[in-house]
Amino acid sequence: MTVIAAAATLVGTSCGSPESTPPVVSETVSNHRSVTVEWEKDFPAAIERAQSEGKPVLVNFYADWCVWCKRLDSTTLRDAKVAALLSDRVIPVNLNVEGDGRELSNEYRVDGLPTVLILDPSGREIGRIPGYMPPTGFLERVEGFLQQS
């Protein structure tokens, strides 16, 4: 019951300020094999690649000061099952809202960090994950969005 309460607390957590500190919870789905994810850093290149490969785009909006963004990167996005999904089924792109991702974050109305968007190859939003989510919930949400596309 404690694990369920802790997981419920983590779902949807986002950075409102640089002082936010995450709780310590075991969040790994699997780490049995190493999967390398090729993250795009340029949105137009990601869209072009998505169109040529016929895949949706997964955009991870983050900031360097965001504790929950770092947690998402160090746990959820590095989980073997999540990494496999990112490598096989989407074109993943990381965008810093204080750099190259500023204009796009305004365009897509990103109002908290981290925010992950799933876009079709034309850039239309299919789904959104606002805030931090551990690997299991993240996989379920992304899979659901991918079924819609």
Collapsing DSSP to helix, strand or coil, 114 comes out as coil
Q: Give the CATH number of domain 2-12+37-148.
A: 3.40.30.10
In the chain, which ranges are continuous DSSP H helix? Answer: 2-10, 43-53, 67-71, 80-89, 102-107, 135-148
Residue range 47-106, pLDDT digits in tens? 999 999 999 999 999 999 999 999 999 999 999 999 999 999 999 999 999 999 999 999
Say how far apart CA 9 and CA 35 lie, in whole Å: 28
113 secondary structure, DSSP code? B
Instruction: Choose among 77, 74, 73, 72: nearest CA to 90.
Output: 77
Residue 15: predicted pLDDT: 66
Q: Is 69 a catalytic site residue?
A: yes
With a cut of 60, say whether residue 8 has pLDDT above it. no
Active site residue 15: no
pLDDT tens-digit profile of 130-147?
A: 999 999 999 999 999 999
**Spatial distance between the Cα atoms of 34 and 25, rounded to a whole number of angstroms:** 22
pTM of the model: 0.80
Q: Which of 63, 69, 118, 133 is catalytic?
A: 69
Among the listed residues 50, 66, 116, 126, the single catalytic one is: 66
